[in-house]
Structure 1
Amino acid sequence: MADLFDTGADAGAAEASAPRPLADRLRPQALDEVIGQQQVLGPEAPLGVMLEAGTLGSIIFWGPPGVGKTTIARLLAHATDMHFVQISAIFTGVPELRKVFEAAKLRRKTGQGTLLFVDEIHRFNKAQQDGFLPHMEDGTILLVGATTENPSFELNAALLSRSQVLVLERLDNDDLERLVQRAERELDRPLPLTPESRAALLDMADGDGRALLNLVEQVMSWRTTSDLDVNALKTRLMKRAAQYDKGGDGHYNLISALHKSVRGSDPDAALYWYARMLEAGEDPRYLARRITRMAVEDISLADPQAQAFCLQSWETYERIGSPEGELAIAQALVYLALAPKSNAVYNAYKAARRAAKQTGSLMPPKHILNAPTKLMREQGYGDGYAYDHNAEDGFSGQDYFPDGLERMHFYDPVERGFERDLRKRVDYFAKLRQKRNS
């Protein structure tokens, strides 16, 4: 039996002496060692205020990978003398959750709280998320969830109402540089890089501290006789892929940025976001469709050619393919950004839809109904219809809204682009209608 215990001790000693990744060795031991995230950790920030008051509540950390979600959760448990339990929603099912809750209840009876850290919490379904609620409410656990997706869309309202959402941001280059310096102190030697290639290394990390330390560890393992320049660095290292999920939050953030850049008449910003999405692997056909939508929604009749231009560019892409076809879509993008803008038809359409819902099944006035049968003629269908081509100026001025419904106004052209001319036509027919009706 003694041999068995001795074997366990030897195994523990061996594990402790085993090589550890640099990211693990540099994991902060206190909250004031965390690099970045002062918007949540500072003295006047949410976590700083909670800890100072001794009233830590359940939290949802929302942010990209490698910004410290797990580390901060672990340090919060240490700062509040709570038992730290970490699970991942990817690998944890209902039976495992029950065991976690039961163990937390036993700790609570002995006077110790449990901080339960749930990574990728958005991957739990609604029923699993609801399972946390009673244990949060009775104090069995203090929940700290982590998600890379927008909690508003991915988490239950009940869970969100019992938690505070704190946004963790990607690390900027100053934060990443501090992390590199910490790594150099730990390894007791500088990175074998020129200043330019050092800056390139920070860019490769794309705001992810964990990814940066992995890159640093690779660079430090190389045998070099001199500092590497940018070309040598990029030859040895692949650039980290940008954070982008075609079905996730990053996708919608970038398409929103692209759309608003076009609406804001900024072709340079529009091209930047277009290129960002292409570099992340977005399907150009999706972008062609969204750009055509921009022409319909934001340019509309201020430039009637814009929609046709987009469709032609889309067709050009389909005919010649990548990579040349993306240039055709880029041309449409620049054209839209510089085109006059109008959402008058868009607003008119939405207003007409609202009016249609409100007015229900009102019949058209009988004078504009066709009367192909004798019975319909006897019912007054078509009586009094004025054929516009026979009227002065080709305009009768008749009312085409349902009987008893006051005339409604939806379309209000802007004084930009081709809609200036349409504004004149709207005003012209309004005056003629008033003249005919008087």
Structure 2
Amino acid sequence: MSILKDKNILLGITAGIAAYKSANLVRLFIKAGANVKVVMTPASKEFVTPLTLSTLSKNPVCSTFVGESDANKDDEVWNNHVDLGLWADLFVIAPATANTMAKMANGVCDNILLAVYLSAKCPVYFAPAMDLDMYKHASTKKSFEKLTSYGNKMIPAGTGELASGLVGEGRMAEPEDILSFIEKDILDQLPLQGKRILITAGPTHEAIDPVRFIGNHSSGKMGFEIAKAASNLGAEVILVSGPTHQTLISNLVTVKSVVSAEDMYNEVHKHFKTSDIAILSAAVADYKPTVVATHKIKKKDSTFTIELEKTKDILKSLGEIKKNQFLVGFALETDNELEHAKGKLKSKNLDLIVLNSLQDKGAGFGVSTNKVTFITSANDIIENELKSKTEVAQDLMHLILKQTHA
């Protein structure tokens, strides 16, 4: 999953021969999971058609302040440049010609693309494209300096064969390079960039025989949402998950699938020493059968007894060996919730514990919501209202950031 997933990207296209590459750029943004709208200068339509770009982006293309109504071709509608600027999470101008950059640098506003640029509140990226002599001209360099001084981000041009036949600097970066530049720039600014987070999720299944097991109702959704929230903040995530139907595709998340508590214990210990933060949200079985039958147990007697033994306490084992790691545990309680959670926080040497109660409606297993209380090692108690597990995960990550000063 790209960091651009669900981002609103406004692509600005100006009148350069490199505009032919913009169709592929739209395609790459869409493939990355972004929502894309296109705004063009009137002259750029000589190089690439609005029909192509609207088909690829699945949105109408704006090139003038006034357009036709979809309902009635005789009616005209105002293309609101302010709304476009507010909609965008990112504004990418590619290609950016010398003419357009000069206007951007000096506040000239004679088309809708420039009006959107002057209205945009989001980060602006521009990818210069022009011939060698134009690229090296002092006025062009001045435009580069002004635009970057305003906070805009320049995607460097490449070197290669140009439209004039010359070979040199000025060739617009390839669409794949533009995508990579933007992704890296966003990631580099995220607070957990360079951090490694270990997360556990889901239930464990403790075998009784080849077809039966002891388990619980955990869906794994909470742990997967935490992994998603952590990766959205730039962290490299190792997600150790018990059996679950949850899925997560991200180039920052590596999923390690396990079955039993013993499997999870071993996998977690493989990665803990190289982790900065560990969040153990899995519902690990407390007990397992002492003996696992090698064949299916036949139904014979009216009663059946299974001898159980304790599983290894994964959370406690990490608390005993942790050095600089920030360790987070979860506590699902049914009575004396706060006292039990505080006891676990101390006895397992945790930095933070997340308490939720099966007494709270909408919390616990098998639902998309949760109601939690965060308890820190400094004994701060932060109660939260019922929220989606997505929001709970985001709240948790923000609190960890605050606690670790990341």
Report the TM range for the smaller structure's normalisation.
under 0.3
Structure number with larger C-alpha Rg? 1
Q: TM-score, normalised by structure 1?
A: 0.23
Q: TM-score, normalised by structure 2?
A: 0.24
